[in-house]
Amino acid sequence: MQFKVTANPNPTAAADREAIIANPTFGTHFTDHQIVVVWEKDKGWLSAEVIPYGPIMMDPSAAVLHYGQEIFEGIKAYRHQDGSIWTFRPEANAKRLQRSARRMALPELPTEIFVESLRQLIAVDGPWVPKPENEKTLYFRPFEIAAENFLGVRAAQRAEYRVIASPVGPYFTGGVKPVSIWIALDSARAGKHGTGEAKTGGNYAASLLAQMKGYENGCSQVMFLDAETATYVEELGGMNLFFVKRDGSVLTPSLDGTILHGITRDSLITLLKDRGHKVEERKVSLAEVREGALSGDITETFACGTAAVITPVGVLKSDKEEIVIGGNEPGELTVSLRKELTGIQYGTVEDRHGWMVKLAD
């Protein structure tokens, strides 16, 4: 598929861009261009363009505004020391976008178009990728919406896939410190056969009430439990969870339909197995975590995702209790895994699994 390129006639001045990427904050500034690829029923994916960044002209009857047919991805571009620009496992994000599309009755974007869309955006906005220092990257936000003008509930008949990009800084200011997590006891994110494993806007809207309660209680993220019994740990609002045991084995909740298939999660399972750790993907109850933290059998807990890479979890809190894990200090395995993964992403640690894909020289 050929991308038609229309350059932004009023791009950000180089000095302003450099000031933004010297000190980026998540999701506040965007590059000069966006990608738009259009799909229509009976015609398929029919046009692909790079256009100036700007508002989307949309009819008030557009399906996405009424029935929430929206899916998205999050993936980063990393600049290496030699100036080249790379991304991490883009085929995995493409596959996940396809999985989300199937669940939300949207068309599946072919993997080649997904990867090419990132390349095309970098071809025009490459200077927006920060230098490889202090964990700075360019964050891509690919998303797809049902963009037909029709007030009826039905599978999309016209869809738009777009990509925007925002320079981002380190999730942690002042080093990797353990976070406190709020346990959502009266709010569920995803039910059985629902949309939990799709990366769709509504799941995030559904998590906000609990997130606000978490903030009020000094927590930075929320841990959701299974919706049916509130017994088993699922994931955080935007990250997957791992528990490290004293014997070196590692537990992570299994992907039973309600949990996002995290690409960081999958990559860490591989890195842990490479190191000889036993990794168990299974149901993990809150009671098991509570008892393990208390007895010292669970020595570390960490959350992982593209935005924050790996975050140590020091405390789990609810109205009923406060569970402290590993003395509320970052665990040894947590820190060393984080170093290995970021090293692979920035090209300073060997990429044994062929995860990195070059976007530009």
Ligand X SMILES: Cc1ncc(COP(=O)(O)O)c(C=O)c1O
Q: Which residues bind ligand X (CB under 6 A)?
A: 74, 235, 238-240, 260, 262-265, 304-306
Q: Closer to ligand X by CB, 145 or 239: give it.
A: 239
Contact 245, 270 (CB under 8 A): no
**Residue 151: is it exposed, middle or buried by C-beta count within 10 angstroms (0-12/13-18/19+)?**
exposed
Q: Closer to ligand X by CB, 62 or 219: give it.
A: 219
Query: Least distance in Å: CB of 238 to ligand X?
Result: 4
Query: Least distance in Å: CB of 95 to ligand X?
Result: 11
Contact 201, 72 (CB under 8 A): yes
Q: Closer to ligand X by CB, 304 or 356: give it.
A: 304
Number of residues in the chain: 361
Contact 88, 343 (CB under 8 A): no
Contact 187, 210 (CB under 8 A): yes
Query: Least distance in Å: CB of 203 to ligand X?
Result: 7
Q: Helical H runs in the chain?
A: 14-22, 63-67, 90-103, 111-125, 201-216, 263-274, 286-295, 332-345
Query: Least distance in Å: CB of 92 to ligand X?
Result: 8
Q: Closer to ligand X by CB, 213 or 265: give it.
A: 265
Query: Least distance in Å: CB of 298 to ligand X?
Result: 20
DSSP string, 58-123: --TTBHHHHH--EEE--EEEEE-TTS-EEEE-HHHHHHHHHHHHHHTT-PPPPHHHHHHHHHHHHH
C-alpha torsion sign, points 27, 225, 95, 134: positive
Query: Least distance in Å: CB of 333 to ligand X?
Result: 18
Bridge partners (DSSP) of residue 244 are 250, 300
**One-letter amino acid identity for 339?**
K
Q: Closer to ligand X by CB, 87 or 264: give it.
A: 264
Q: Closer to ligand X by CB, 262 or 312: give it.
A: 262
Q: Closer to ligand X by CB, 74 or 169: give it.
A: 74
Query: Least distance in Å: CB of 339 to ligand X?
Result: 17
Q: Count CB atoms within 10 A of the CB of residue 212.
A: 12
Residue 151, token pair as written in the block: 């007030």
